[in-house]
Chains A and B, each alone.
Chain A
Amino acid sequence: MSWLARPASETQITHGGRLWLYILAALVMLFLVAPTLIVVPMSFSDSQYLEFPPRTWSIRWYQHYVGSSEWMAATRTSLLVAFLTMLFATPMGVMAAYGLFVSNLRFAHLIFILIISPMMVPIILIGIGVFYVYAKLKIVFTIGGLVMAHVMLAIPLVLIVMSSALKSYDMNQEMVARSLGASRLRAFMVITLPQIRFAVITSALLAFITSFDEIIVALFVSGGDNATLTRSMFITLRDQIDPTIASISTIMVLVSTSLLVLAQLFGRSKR
């Protein structure tokens, strides 16, 4: 019996009978990854007009990127802000998830919704609102202001990841530790935290990437010497197709791919 005539699923349809599904799925997967990946070879083109495949290879756009003090400053700002966001958002989100889960109060659900509400409110509204308030407080264009806004945007992700991790964790283990004399903090640190550490790492990576990729809020409240990479990219993109962006994009794809691989690795070892 050939592969095509074999039943493919519980519906007893044959592989041949749904070949179209395989072709369609393959095309959609290609559609999802190809555009991003094709930028990588293009960024090594020598030409002004991003060619594929490049006729002559060169790293001139990378040299241009590394040589430009503006792009370098923007990169430093983005990395710093993303790092600080991760540093603050992760503990705050973990604390909130733990507190809401363990206290189990009637209105905890409402607070949960409120803390994840930055995911629901249109980002443009958050952008101009934060801009307005920061302008009054005179903290527009500061690193601190941007980090605060990004922490707020990252906390919902941390909270969601951690809440689902806690749901599948057996809280009785912590209880045992406490009945043996450990304080709640010690019980959490020694018993609970090591067991939910992969979720903590995943949420930290998510917090980092949330800040690193964020555009709208950065567009309004970063600038001057503290413009983020995404802000500078967006401003450049609106006007022209600068090949330098291709080299920066390649680096950003590299960053996100390695973060994804890390997240997958940690997710895998959980099982």
Chain B
Amino acid sequence: MSVANTISPVTSETTASSSATPNAEGLQSDAFKERLRLFGLCSPAFLLVLAIMVVPVLWLFYLSFLSDDGTFSLEHYQRMVASKSYSRIFWTTFKVSILTTILCVLIGYPLAYFLAQLPRRAAAICMITVLLPFWTSLLVRTYAWLVLLQRKGLINTWAIDLGLWDEPIKIVHNLTGTLIGMVHIMLPFLVLPVYGSMKAISGDLVKAAANLGATPVQAFWKVFFPLSLPGLFAGALIVFVLCLGFYVTPAVLGGGRVIMVSMRITDMIELHFNWGAASALGVVLLALTLGILYASSRLLKLDKILGGGVQ
């Protein structure tokens, strides 16, 4: 197609007044038609997303405005604003998401920094520790934590043997257990984009800073750190957004004490068959997620953020 594209302006220029002009137009429209045909290659994927995701989500959107007797109403949304139990769930969701994001940044950034400065071979080997969890089932990892953190689990046994605490403490089926599990699951999503952005920073810049008399600490904070911020921001954003909709880990490690929005949605369907209320919650969750992503996409390219997790 771009052959035709590059040729047609030349032809139309050189033979502008002659009968070749319709020919150029024909070439151009042919090129455009071919591009459209090629564009059609994405239609199977496009139609599938439309049928299996967009249509169902729109349907839920519609259901969220229906009251139990099938008339239009805002009752599900009104209940969300009025009820204390809802605000508690949203608060828990935010609290868990923010804490997980902060913890991931605190331990993920140094790891990414360490990995980014290793020689190529060593970095590839250490990177496996980040990629392995990424490829391992979330359920398996959640189960592993359940086993490790339980009352007679490895952590309690070892801590007592080492004299860290005297009797088994409760570290699972509560917020602590949920956070440990979620940080473990989210960490690769932070480390990979941060690592990518650190790799793109030229070492010469830091060298120049050192050459101009900056101490290592100054060179890091004034030169390296600001340059790594876009990656850090992208990683933190994807962790936060994924946390908002999290279900499995809090459901297993929270032991019913950490109720997040997704878990409430499932309960609404499984226990109460209340599609309207579940849909309304889902719509709010979606609006929050897309709102945050949209706001950030004004600062960053969206596909870059999402592409960061997959390498």
Tell whether, in the assembled complex, residue B310 and residue A206 are in contact, meaning their CB atoms are under 8 Å apart: yes
Tell whether, in the assembled complex, residue A252 and residue B147 are in contact, meaning their CB atoms are under 8 Å apart: no
Tell whether, in the assembled complex, residue B114 and residue A39 are in contact, meaning their CB atoms are under 8 Å apart: no
CA distance A115 to B41 in the complex (A): 13
A10 interfacial by beta-carbon distance below 8 Å: yes
A87 interfacial by beta-carbon distance below 8 Å: no
B283 — which chain A residues lie within 8 A by C-beta? Answer: 125
CA distance A123 to B242 in the complex (A): 9
Tell whether, in the assembled complex, residue A215 and residue B138 are in contact, meaning their CB atoms are under 8 Å apart: yes
Tell whether, in the assembled complex, residue A50 and residue B147 are in contact, meaning their CB atoms are under 8 Å apart: yes
Cβ of A222 to closest chain B Cβ, rounded Å: 14
A151 — which chain B residues lie within 8 A by C-beta? Answer: 48
- Could you say which of B3, B128, B219, B282 contacts A179, with CB atoms under 8 Å apart? B3
**A92-113 with Cβ < 8 A to chain B:** 92-93, 95-96, 98-100, 102-105, 108, 111-113
- Could you say which of B154, B262, B286 contacts A121, with CB atoms under 8 Å apart? B286
| Contact flag A29-B111 (CB < 8 Å), given A10-B207, A108-B39 | yes
B81 — which chain A residues lie within 8 A by C-beta? Answer: none
B303 interfacial by beta-carbon distance below 8 Å: yes
Tell whether, in the assembled complex, residue A260 and residue B143 are in contact, meaning their CB atoms are under 8 Å apart: no
- Could you say which of A124, A125, A237 contacts B139, with CB atoms under 8 Å apart? A237
- Could you say which of B42, B184, B207, B216 contacts A111, with CB atoms under 8 Å apart? B42
- Could you say which of B46, B148, B290 contacts A120, with CB atoms under 8 Å apart? B290
CA distance A12 to B265 in the complex (A): 53
Tell whether, in the assembled complex, residue A22 and residue B114 are in contact, meaning their CB atoms are under 8 Å apart: yes
A24 interfacial by beta-carbon distance below 8 Å: yes
CA distance A238 to B154 in the complex (A): 20
- Could you say which of B108, B131, B143, B204 contacts A245, with CB atoms under 8 Å apart? B143
B247 interfacial by beta-carbon distance below 8 Å: yes
| Contact flag A49-B152 (CB < 8 Å), given A124-B247, A216-B248 | yes
Cβ of A165 to closest chain B Cβ, rounded Å: 12
Among the listed stretches A56-64, A65-73, A152-160, A190-198, which one makes contact with chain B, having 4 or more residues with CB under 8 Å of it? Answer: A152-160
19 A–B contacts, CB within 8 A, in A order: A10-B219, A21-B113, A28-B108, A33-B129, A36-B141, A38-B144, A42-B147, A93-B45, A121-B53, A122-B244, A124-B285, A125-B60, A125-B245, A155-B49, A156-B306, A175-B2, A206-B310, A215-B247, A237-B139
4 shortest interchain CB distances as A-B pairs: A99-B41, A129-B56, A122-B245, A13-B216
Q: Which residues of B contact A (CB under 8 A)?
A: 1-3, 35-36, 38-42, 44-46, 48-49, 52-57, 59-60, 63, 107-108, 110-111, 113-115, 117, 126, 128-133, 135-148, 150, 152, 154, 184, 187-188, 203-204, 206-207, 209-210, 214, 216-217, 219-220, 224, 241, 244-245, 247-248, 251-252, 261-262, 265-266, 269, 275, 278-279, 282-283, 285-286, 289-290, 293, 302-303, 306-307, 310
